[in-house]
Amino acid sequence: MFDSRQMFIEYTFTMDDGKVLQYKINFERPRPNLLNKEDYPQWTELDFHQCSNCPLETKSHSHCPAAIDAKEIILGFREILSCSAADVRVKTPEREYIKRSDAQTGLRALIGFVMATSACPLLSKMRGMAHYHLPFASLDEIVFRVTSSYLLTQYYIHQDGGVADLELNGLKKFYEEMQTLNYDFLQRIRAASEADSNLDVLSTLFSISALLSLRLEPHLEKLKPLFVDKNMTNNTKK
């Protein structure tokens, strides 16, 4: 049986000026729902620019789960510009990835993993995909991964006697929710940022979710030749 308690992802950013930022993120990060407000920045509190579609209530949750998890990363990068070059090394339980890139590219991958594995009830829908974390993914890879992950979920729903959504209506609705969440969460980041890297990263996440929620079909059509034999399609239409 899969035990996510033993899983972690390690990101190491080596900047050209010699500065090294390292983050070891456990897949499971349990913590109480009510925290001491004196121990955390105000911008992490739940009612500070709370996402308009957030189902949590302040009487049961004092802080935003995603903000608490992202806090150290955001504060660590707030003095680093997004255009700063870095060697980014990502260590997963199965393999390592190394990429020479701007800080924004690596930070976007790290923030994406942290938010997907947070206790946020909306973002937690991506936990299955986060287990097979792929840093530095291209847009085509993101489309492939989120669609495959969603269809696998539908398979399990069908196996349990439910009705599978093969039209991907639920996936489109999910990314509409992500569009709202990313935009609202960006307001939190603005309060914590002293440089532009965090703003750029969340803006990019917002752009991707908006693109998928509004134009998913064109991206799926682009991938179709990789998975569908033309002759098989023509025979089916006869």
At 204, the pLDDT band (50, 70, 90 cuts) reads low
- Over residues 205-221, the pLDDT tens digits come to 666 666 666 678 888 89
At 39, the pLDDT band (50, 70, 90 cuts) reads very high
Is the model more confident about 231 or about 96? 96
In 3D space, the residue among 45, 46, 108, 30 whose CA is nearest the CA of residue 74 turns out to be: 108
Residue 37 has pLDDT above 70, yes or no: yes
Residue 236 has pLDDT above 70, yes or no: no
- E-strand ranges in the chain read 8-15, 20-26, 85-91, 96-102
In order, the DSSP letters of 170-190 are HHHHHHHHHHHHHHHHHHHHH
Residue 14 has pLDDT above 70, yes or no: yes
Q: Which amino acid is at 86?
A: A
Pair 47, 63: CB distance under 8 Å: no
